[in-house]
Every structure is written in C-alpha cells, then in structure tokens.
Amino acid sequence: MMQAALYALPILFLTIFYLYPLLAILRVSFGASLTEAMEQASAALRAPGFWRVLWFTTWQATVSTLLTVLVGLPLAGVFARFDFPGRGVMAALLTVPFVMPTVVVAPAFLALIGRNGLLNVWLQRLLHLDAPPIQLEQTIWLILLVHVFYNVAIVIRTVGGFWSTLPPTLAEAAAALGASPRRRFWTVTAPLLAPSLVAASLLVFLFCFTSFGVILILGGLRFATLEVEIYRQAVSYFNLPMAAFLSIVQLFFTFTVMALYTRVQARLSRTLRLRRRAFARRPASWRQWAVVGLALAATFIGVLSPLVALAVRSFTLGDGGPTLIYYQALGENLRQSAFFAPPITAVRNSLVYALATLAISLPLGVIASYALVQPRSRWAAILDPLLLLPLGTSAVTLGFGYIVAMGPLRASPWLAPVAHSLIALPFVVRTFLPALRALDQRLREAASTLGADPLRRWWTIDAPLLLRALLISAAFAFAISLGEFGATLLIARPDRPTMPLVIYRALSQPGLMNYGQALAMSTILMVSTALSILLIERFRLPQGEEF
Amino acid sequence: MLEVRTIHKRFAPDKEVLQGVSLTVEPQEILCLLGPSGCGKSTLLRIIAGLERADQGRVLLNGSDITETPAHRRNVGLMFQDYALFPHLNVAENIAYGLRMHGAPASERRRRVEEMLALVNLEGYAHRSVDDLSGGEQQRVALARTLAPNPTLLLLDEPVANLDRLLREELLEALRRILKRLHVTTIFVTHDQEEAFALADRIAVMRAGRLEQVDAPAPLYRRPANTFVAAFLGFRNLLPILEWRDVHAVCTPIGTFELPERDAAHPAVGARLLIPPDAAVLDSAPSSAAHVPLVGRVVAATFRGSVFRLQVAPEGSKEDSVLYFEFRTRGRERLPVQGEPVRLWLDTAQMCVVKEA
C-alpha cells in the first residue's frame, strides 16, 4: 500500500506537469470542433514561412548531424582503441559541451570567432588588417559549428563506448584470413558499429532539430527552427493557435525520431550485454602515438578555446586592457539597464531554482527507478514510456504548454523549478537506474539472512552502494536547472530572472556594457556548471568508459 | 616448414615475455606449445601469425622470411580462444570470409563452404546466426572458417579451453582426426597437459618466455628434462637427492635407491628423484629385482573410478613428506583406509633423476 502510494508519485507528477500541458496544446491547436481544427490546420499550412521554417529546421539538423559524425567518428576510434595518458582528462573534457548551457556556448563562440572575437582581434593585430578576417557571425556556418561542438560528445560516447567493447580479435581474425586494414574496417568494424552510429546520429539529429538557444542567439532574425518559431509566435505575436500547431508538428517529428532511437538502442544494449569488457591498448608505434596526440590536441583546443575566450573577453575592456567593470556592473541596477533588479540577483534565483529542482527531481527519480526495476510490474509498464516522452519534447513546447495550461499558476515562482525537474527527471532516472540494476540482488538477500529488516537493509546495502550514482544524478539535475533556457524563457517571472535569462536579455541589448555583462554572467554560469561536471567526473563509476 | 629463430619480445622494459625462443616445426606435424598462463606461448603464436611484432629474431615459413610480412599476406590461419566469430555474418558468411578476401569466385566459395561444413559435421547450419550456436558448434565454425582458405600453417590458441570437460574430449578427438586427414601443419597452444598429449605429435614446454623441453609426448612423460617440466606434467613425487652414492645410487629422505644404468644422470646440484605415481605395486612382492619395498601409513585414500589414489607417509619420515600413488581398482575388494599401515614395492626402473629447473 505504502509502496503503491510512493510509486504513484512520479506518475502523478508526470500526468499533471507533462501530459496535461501537452493536451492543452492540442486543445489550443485544434479548437473546439473538427471543422475548426481543419480550418486552423490548413490556415497554418498556408501561412508564409511555415514550409520555410520546416525546411530550414530539417536541413540544418541533417547537415549538423553529418558534420558531427565526420568529426566524432575518428575521435571515437582513438578513444575506443587506445589507452594513453590523458584519457581520463579527455573523457572529462568531452562531458563539458554536453552539459554547458547554450547561453554559455553561444556567447563563448562569439567571444572566440565573432566579429570582435579573440581570434579576429589577434589576427588583425598580427597581420595589420583593417577588417576582421573571420566573418562567421550571423551565418549558418557558426550555427553548424556550435552544433558540432555540442553533439560530438554524443557520437564519441555512443559509438566509442560500443567500439571499445568490440573484441580486437575480430579484426585480428579478419587479418589472419587475409583482409587488409582497409577491408578489415569495411567488412568487420564498420558493419558492427553501424547500429551504434545510427543511434548516435538519431540523437544528434533530434537535438539539432529542436535547437533553440543557439539559433536564437547566433541566428538573429535570419534563421529560425520550429522551436524558435514556436517561441516567436507565442511570445512576440501572441498567435497561440499557430504556436500550438507548430508544437504539434515538432512533436510529431521528435516522437518519430525518439521511437526509432529507442528501437535501435534496445538492439544495441542486447548485443552489448554479452560482453562488457573494454579493450583499449597502449599505442604501439610512433604513428599511433601521433594519431592519439592529434586527437588529444583537437579535443583540448576544440572544447577549451571557446570557453577560455569567453572568460578572457569578460575580463577585457573592448580590445583594451584587463577590467572588472562588467562584473561590478552586475551588482548595480543601472537606470538604462534592461533589468528590474541588479543582475547579480539572478545568480541567487538560479541557485534557489536549482536546489528546488534537486528537491523535486531526485526523490521522484529514485522512486521511479525502484518502480522500473521491478520485473513485469504494472508501474514499470506505465512509467517506462511516460518517462521517455519528455526526452522527445522540446523545452519551448513544454514552457508553451505551461502557459496555456496552468492558468493562475502561471505567475507562480514554483513553475520554473517544476519545469526544470521535468526536464531533469529522465536524466536522473537514466543515471540512477543502471546502478540500481547492477546492484546484486544476492547482497540484499545476504543482508536479510543476516537479520537486517527491510529498512536497515536499504540503509546498509542500497544507500552506500548507490550513493555515487545518486551524486552524479544530483549533479546532472543541478547543471540542467542552472542552464535551462527554453522553458524558463517562457514561464519565469520577469522580476525573478535566472542567469540564462539575464545573459539572453543582455545579449539582445545594444552597447558594449550590456555585451560585457552578458559575458561576465556567462562566465559565472560556466564556472558553476563546470563545478557540477567536476563532481560528475569525480564520482563517475569505476567502469568509466561506458559513458 | 616453419622456423622460428631467437625471438625476443618485451611489453615493458622489465617485462620480457619471450627471451630468445627458437623452434622448428616439420611439415604436417602437430606441435603443442604447453605452459602455464603468462609464459608467453600466446604471444609467440601471435608473432607467428603476424599480429604482434617481435623485437628481435626471424620467422621463416617454407624457407622464406616472413618476419616483416603483415598478417593478411601470410596465409597463416589462426583460431582464437574466444573464436572471434563475426557476429554480423551468418555461419556460411563467416566461413566464406577468408575466401572472399583471397578473391575466390562465388561458386567456389559456395562449394568450399559446403565442404567445410561437412568436414566439421555442421551440414545444414549454413544460414544460422552465430549467436544461436552452442559453444561446441561455435568452435567448429571457427575451425571451418580458419581452414577454408587452405592456410599454409594452422595456429590454434587454446582451441577447447572455453568448453566443458565432456565436450572437450570429444572435440579434441575430432580435431586430431580432421588435422591428420588434411595433413595440415599445426601449432596449438594450451595450458592443459592432457590436451597436449591428446593432440600433439610433439610438445614444447614453455616457461617464462623460454622453451624448457621439446619432445614427443611419450619421451616427455617418461623423462622430463627438469623439475619444472615434471611438476607441470603433474608429477608430485620429486624427492630431493641428499647424496650420490655412486654413479647410479641416490640417497633420498625415504631411503637409497639403486637406479638402472640408463638413468645414471650426472650428479647435478639440486637434482631430484622422480617417482611416477604408477611406479608402485601394492600387497604382493613382484619377482623383479628392480622393486624395492617401502613401508608407510595411509594419509588419505580417494576413489577415482578405474583407479584409486593413496597418499602415503613413509615410515620414519617427517609428517609433511607424503608420496602420491595410483593403483588400479579392478580385482580389489576393499581400499586401504586412512591411518592404515601399507607396504609398497617401488619400481626403480621407472624412476628417473630430473635436473633442477
């Protein structure tokens, strides 16, 4: 009875704060009757721009995915095959883009290769140029580049993780049977990697398809994905039916991709279960060392250079000397400033929201995991798909759903942490559940036969063994809440902005001071997120290569 | 056929896994590399296959130096301990893989696959997925795949180690039958002396990167070159030699033994007297003069089916010096029990002196 009440909690939460808002969007989109629905849909389909937005969303996601695979695959190979000093650092570095908020990464790339970016300033000074040589701002190239930055870790982790469990004897057997290195790759390695590559590509496609912050900040008015268009229709034009219709189109696409991904993933984990060993070896020749060195250097430069540029620019006045003025300005409420309160209060808001997110998502995630781990239970049958759906639902859609569904609750300061929790919940479960599954049932049985009652058994066996997984889950939830942008933009109260909102507002205001404040706030957010990542890496489970 | 000359291999500065190994394999011979795990036998096999580079030394196949030839141009077949069957290919595709790499046309590949399936008794398995096969079936597919391209030399790395005992014996016999029928020169690696005896024409015993002894199974068993080989072959009665009376009389803690002339090894320091477990007769005194009596007490008796084993503490010796003997069960009404005094006759003709390893 007690158990049932507990297991009902996550289901209740997901029903109220996920399914209900989604239904509200459906209602807004399709109106009261079928004829009204048809009319609204056909009007939306004829609206100028709809097909343009859909086309842009699709092709940029496709190209981003291809580029990401192109960059990620060789790195995955190095990671899977070689054991070298710095491997752990490289793994940790690759977590960075995955967790860094868009409102940090987008300004970071501007600070590195924007018109007044560090690289342009240096090149101009070095080559005595009048104009900045790198002209990527407001181009599709910058967007694609940032998408690659974000998602390359997914390819490396998914494909590399799988690759490292392929026994090297397979390729050796092929060699002994007369296959040259190239044929070995194409006849043995590549076909075996294909499912994991498809899974990774689908995930990357999904993330790029629903890209929001990157496009909004770097794309200006020229580029809009469905996600950005939903936001504009809902907030700028207040065209709720159109926003709802776009949300549904997007949901259709994301759910389709999610469904495909789940199927491929299920097949992957089945084959993976057979062998859990990793087979990385030391590089054996100078050529292999060179490849490893190159990969290490590329990772270091690729991941760190934008982030370092961001920090450097936040301490630099224009193209002059070092300064703290931007950080000082964060504490003041300037008259001409766009903020209602000193921007620094956003740090406090963000921290409060993040702690609230922890308080909500961790207990729910742990309870949900225990429900899911029961074999063949009704709870698992309900929770499993229910937890998957939010992963395929974009943040803006969710925020929009809250706007149309929550009525008087819309102004509640609790809405933001609730949305953050909903976004964090699947991640918490996905981190905690494998650890829970891996916990040997016989340990609990042994404790029972030694006289531990259920509560003591949980406290002496489960709790200490699952602590690491819990800490990692907590760090993920914390980082997700700190950096959440899309949903927060729609539902946070203007007088209680979070760090990402302050950054976005400052970026969209003209003037050096606003830009500098955005960089300063971005740097603060970057450091807070980095601390969470550090915690994650510190407590990563011993079989750390599994990603 | 195959000649391996003074191979050295180091994995780390202080870890030399092969310390100058030289070996010759005759055409159509089945040679076994026998040794404990970590002795370097698998590394030697991988060097012969071309999957590992030797730091020094040469590998010659049919007279030509293949030391620098990459694995895929050697036509040396290697069967892995975990079989390394390609999980994305079915049985027939696995077997045909090597033929495909050698550019055989489709019709020939089909014919050869059928031939190989018949050879390993897996007719009708062509389109099965390799994941659905039992361990023994996987082993046979791996063998068929390795043999399909007609390798000049066949290398088997612990070919039956992953199988249970009953299956192991059955597959060993099948393996020997197939190898002898095809006249294929073979080197195989194992840590199990019974496997080595069952399959090999000659056995090379390895220890810590060196070859200790290379011999046919029977001479190897009869006269192990040193105490390491003897211990590895399972001999447990290795008595320290306290003193040499003359060229062929040795003093041991349990008495002095007069050895037949052929066993008169030189008086090496640290040498030991080997008494095989089956070198004793229980109950009645044999007529042969080579038998000497031994009186003792049974420490333990275990029934092993057709034989039974006794641990005997010789009279007057210390508690911990125990000898191990094996007798036939047949024709015996009751077995000796623990604590019972026994009188044995040891056959000095079967004893030999082994050098210290």
For residue B97, which residues of chain A lie inside 8 Å, CB to CB?
A: 174, 177, 179, 187
Q: Which residues contact B249 (CB under 8 A, 6 or more apart)?
A: B256, B257, B258, B259
Which of A23-27, A153-157, B188-192, B247-251 comes out lowest in average pLDDT? B247-251
Domain termination site, one of A297, A317, A337? A317
Q: Is B146 on the interface with A (CB under 8 A)?
A: yes
Nearest CA in chain B to A272: B87
Query: Which CATH number belongs to the domain containing residue A405 in this structure?
Result: 1.10.3720.10
Do B281 and B213 sit in the same domain of this protein?
no
Residue pLDDT tens, chain A, 547 long: 677 888 889 989 999 899 999 888 888 877 767 777 777 778 777 777 888 899 999 999 999 999 999 999 999 999 888 888 888 888 888 878 888 899 899 989 988 888 888 888 888 888 888 888 888 888 889 999 999 999 998 899 889 888 888 888 898 999 999 999 899 999 999 998 998 999 999 999 999 999 998 999 888 778 889 999 999 888 888 888 888 888 888 889 988 998 888 888 777 765 554 455 667 788 878 888 999 999 999 989 989 999 998 888 888 876 667 777 778 777 776 555 555 667 788 888 999 999 999 999 999 999 999 888 877 777 877 887 788 788 888 889 999 888 888 877 777 888 899 999 999 998 899 888 888 888 877 787 777 777 777 888 888 888 888 888 898 899 889 999 999 998 998 888 877 889 999 889 888 888 778 888 888 889 999 998 888 878 777 776 554 433 3
DSSP letter, residue B167: H
Q: Which residues contact A12 (CB under 8 A, 6 or more apart)?
A: none
Task: Residue A151: count other Cβ atoms within 10 Å of its Cβ.
Answer: 28
> CB distance A177–B72 less than 8 Å?
yes
> CB distance A176–B88 less than 8 Å?
no
Q: Which of A176, A183, A188 is facing B76, going by the closest CB pair?
A: A176
Q: How many domains does chain A have?
A: 2
Nearest CA in chain B to A192: B88
Give residue for tokens 């092929």: A174
Interface of chain A against chain B, CB under 8 Å?
A: 167, 169-170, 172-181, 183-184, 187-188, 191-192, 271, 284
Do A423 and A281 sit in the same domain of this protein?
no
In a domain, A123, yes or no: yes
Do B32 and B153 sit in the same domain of this protein?
yes
CA distance A93 to chain B (A): 29
CA distance A181 to chain B (A): 8
Task: Give me B330's structure tokens.
Answer: 């047949």
Do B79 and B140 sit in the same domain of this protein?
yes
Q: What pLDDT score was predicted for residue B145?
A: 93
Domain termination site, one of B231, B266, B296? B231
For residue B71, which residues of chain A lie inside 8 Å, CB to CB?
A: 172, 175-176
Q: Which residues does residue B303 pair with via DSSP β-bridges, in sequence order?
A: B308
Query: Which CATH number belongs to the domain containing residue B304 in this structure?
Result: 2.40.50.100
Do A11 and A91 sit in the same domain of this protein?
no
Q: Which residues contact B39 (CB under 8 A, 6 or more apart)?
A: B206, B207, B208, B209
CA distance A434 to chain B (A): 25
Do A427 and A411 sit in the same domain of this protein?
yes
Do A300 and A388 sit in the same domain of this protein?
no
Do A340 and A308 sit in the same domain of this protein?
no
Q: How far is CA A183 from the centre of its chain?
A: 36
Task: Give me B11's structure tokens.
Answer: 């994995």
> CB distance A176–B78 less than 8 Å?
yes
Do B89 and B189 sit in the same domain of this protein?
yes
| CA–CA gap between residue A91 and residue A79 (Å, rounded) | 9
Which domain does A348 fall in, by range? 1-33+324-547
CA distance A197 to chain B (A): 15
Query: Which CATH number belongs to the domain containing residue B26 in this structure?
Result: 3.40.50.300
Domain termination site, one of B208, B231, B254? B231
CA distance A290 to chain B (A): 19
Q: Is B244 on the interface with A (CB under 8 A)?
A: no
Do A99 and A204 sit in the same domain of this protein?
yes
Nearest CA in chain B to A178: B72
Q: What pLDDT score was predicted for residue A273?
A: 47
Residue B12 pLDDT class (50, 70, 90 cuts): confident
Domain termination site, one of B203, B231, B259? B231
ipTM of this complex prediction, to 2 decimal places:
0.77
Residue B344, classed as helix, strand or coil, is strand
Do B157 and B286 sit in the same domain of this protein?
no
In a domain, A182, yes or no: yes
Give residue for tokens 């130096």: B65
Do A341 and A313 sit in the same domain of this protein?
no
CA distance A416 to chain B (A): 48
Angle among Cα A407, A410, A416 to the nearest 5 degrees reads 140
Alpha-carbon torsion angle B254, B256, B262, B263, nearest 10: 40
In a domain, A222, yes or no: yes
Half-sphere exposure of B223 (CA within 13 A, CB side): 11
Do B196 and B293 sit in the same domain of this protein?
no
Task: Residue A320: count other Cβ atoms within 10 Å of its Cβ.
Answer: 7
| CA–CA gap between residue A289 and residue A287 (Å, rounded) | 5
Burial (CB count within 10 angstroms: exposed 0-12, middle 13-18, buried 19+), residue A236: exposed
| CA–CA gap between residue A277 and residue A164 (Å, rounded) | 8
Q: Which residues contact B256 (CB under 8 A, 6 or more apart)?
A: B245, B249, B250
Q: Using an 8 Å Cβ cutoff, are B347 and B279 in contact? A: yes
DSSP letter, residue A321: S
In a domain, A476, yes or no: yes
How many contacts, defined by CB atoms under 8 Å, are there between A and B?
71
> CB distance B78–A188 less than 8 Å?
no
In a domain, A409, yes or no: yes
Q: What pLDDT score was predicted for residue A544?
A: 40
Do A82 and A189 sit in the same domain of this protein?
yes
Do B243 and B145 sit in the same domain of this protein?
no
> CB distance B51–A175 less than 8 Å?
yes
Do A335 and A418 sit in the same domain of this protein?
yes
Do A329 and A221 sit in the same domain of this protein?
no
Do A64 and A147 sit in the same domain of this protein?
yes
Do B320 and B226 sit in the same domain of this protein?
no
Nearest CA in chain B to A174: B98
Task: Give me B262's structure tokens.
Answer: 């052929």
In a domain, A312, yes or no: yes
Mutate to test the interface with A, among B10, B55, B79, B86 (most CBs of A within 10 A): B86
CA distance A79 to chain B (A): 21
Residue A479, classed as helix, strand or coil, is helix
Which domain does B288 fall in, by range? 238-354
Nearest CA in chain B to A283: B11
Do A339 and A289 sit in the same domain of this protein?
no
> CB distance A167–B84 less than 8 Å?
yes
Domain termination site, one of A280, A301, A317? A317
Residue B226, classed as helix, strand or coil, is strand
> pLDDT for A270-301, tens place per residue?
555 445 566 778 887 888 899 999 999 998 99
Do B192 and B310 sit in the same domain of this protein?
no
Q: Which of A170, A179, A191 is facing B72, going by the closest CB pair?
A: A179
CA distance B166 to chain A (A): 24
Angle at which helices A102-113 and A140-163 pack, to 10 degrees?
120
Do B168 and B266 sit in the same domain of this protein?
no
Q: What pLDDT score was predicted for residue B148?
A: 92
Q: How many domains does chain B have?
A: 2
Q: Which of B51, B98, B145 is facing A172, going by the closest CB pair?
A: B51
Task: Give me B68's structure tokens.
Answer: 């620098």
CA distance A458 to chain B (A): 38
Give residue for tokens 């996601």: A61
Higher pLDDT, B170 or B162: B170
Do B185 and B95 sit in the same domain of this protein?
yes
Burial (CB count within 10 angstroms: exposed 0-12, middle 13-18, buried 19+), residue A76: buried
Mutate to test the interface with A, among B10, B68, B76, B88 (most CBs of A within 10 A): B88
> CB distance A178–B76 less than 8 Å?
no
> CB distance B97–A192 less than 8 Å?
no
> CB distance A176–B145 less than 8 Å?
no
> CB distance A177–B50 less than 8 Å?
no
For residue A184, which residues of chain B lie inside 8 Å, CB to CB?
A: 72
Q: Which of B82, B97, B155 is facing A177, going by the closest CB pair?
A: B97
Do B220 and B249 sit in the same domain of this protein?
no
Q: Is B197 on the interface with A (CB under 8 A)?
A: no
Domain termination site, one of A256, A282, A317? A317
Task: Give me A310's structure tokens.
Answer: 């961001």
Mutate to test the interface with B, among A169, A177, A277, A285 (most CBs of B within 10 A): A177
> pLDDT for A254-275, tens place per residue?
889 988 888 887 777 655 544 5
Angle among Cα A483, A488, A494 to the nearest 5 degrees reads 120
In a domain, A137, yes or no: yes
In a domain, A173, yes or no: yes
Nearest CA in chain B to A188: B86
Q: What pLDDT score was predicted for residue B30?
A: 94
